[in-house]
Amino acid sequence: MSTPMTRRDLRERMESGEAPAMASVPPSPRRRRGIGRMLGDVLLWIAALGGAVCIVLVILAVTAQITLIMFRTGSMSPTIPAGSVAVVQHVPASAIEVGDVVTVDREGELPITHRVTSVADGPTAEQRVITMRGDANAAEDPFPYTVSSVRIVLFSVPAVATLIVGMGNPVVLGALTAAATLLVVWAFWPRSPRRRERGVT
């Protein structure tokens, strides 16, 4: 049975030029993360980021009345091309100015999003009569709109409407849900402790 080596013994051997036996010092184990584990962590971070974005959007929709709209046509090109998604905020008619891009809800028809070309007082103090025209259109819309509120475009992101529409597909939603479930189960599945290196007790 060998006598344990103290720090003093080790220092004396070093000063005398005698190298200590390296075999007596147990190697420190190193934890190595596999590629699969690292990929799983990246996917978890992406999923967490997506969840955080969804939570922020819900909070903004409730507190600041900020929502999203999709552009199916190119009437606002090149400013907002078809396939873009715009972030809009609900504002009173009194806040409308010429040059704003706003969405007007029409009874019995789809909403329309064009640029405001003129603003006039409406039948009541809260209402305004506005005319609009799409940036890609040669003429203004056929008739003015009497509004008490609109949704004003804050900014837009091109070429993401198709992705959002695709994610609304039941098959895609089911696949994403199953993948997220498997990812969470894999991340939190209990693992056996790593085996200690041979020769270390």
Cis omega (within 30 of 0) for bond into 78: yes
Q: Which ranges of 17-140 does DSSP label H, i.e. alpha helix?
A: 35-63
- The answer to whether residues 91 and 172 belong to one domain is no
Nearest to 152 by CA among 108, 98, 107, 110: 98
Alpha-carbon span 189 to 179, nearest angstrom: 15
Q: Which domain holds residue 97?
A: 68-161
- The answer to whether residues 47 and 96 belong to one domain is no
Q: What is the CATH number of the domain that holds 135?
A: 2.10.109
Q: Number of H helices and number of E strands within the chain?
A: 4, 7
Task: Walk along the chain (201 residues) and give the pLDDT tens digit of each residue.
Answer: 556 666 666 667 766 665 555 545 454 444 555 787 787 777 778 777 877 877 887 888 789 899 999 998 999 999 999 999 999 999 999 999 999 999 999 988 999 999 999 999 999 999 999 999 999 999 999 999 999 999 999 999 998 877 776 666 677 667 777 777 777 777 677 766 654 444 444
Q: Name every residue whose Cβ is closer than 8 Å to that of residue 69 and which is 6 or more positions away in sequence.
A: 85, 86, 88, 103, 111, 113, 151, 153
User: 């019995």: which residue's tokens?
Assistant: 108
Q: 132 and 112 in contact (C-beta within 8 Å)?
A: yes
- The answer to whether residues 95 and 171 belong to one domain is no
Residue 120 lies in a domain: yes
Q: 115 and 133 in contact (C-beta within 8 Å)?
A: yes
Alpha-carbon span 128 to 118, nearest angstrom: 10
Nearest to 77 by CA among 104, 114, 40: 114
Residue 201's pLDDT is 46
- The answer to whether residues 157 and 75 belong to one domain is yes
Residue 193's pLDDT is 60
Beta carbons within 10 angstroms of residue 101's beta carbon = 22
- The answer to whether residues 85 and 122 belong to one domain is yes
Residue 166's pLDDT is 66
- The answer to whether residues 130 and 49 belong to one domain is no
Residue 103's pLDDT is 97
Alpha-carbon span 199 to 55, nearest angstrom: 52
Q: Where are the beta strands (DSSP E) in the chain?
A: 66-70, 85-92, 101-104, 112-121, 128-133, 145-147, 149-157
Beta partners for 145?
Answer: 130
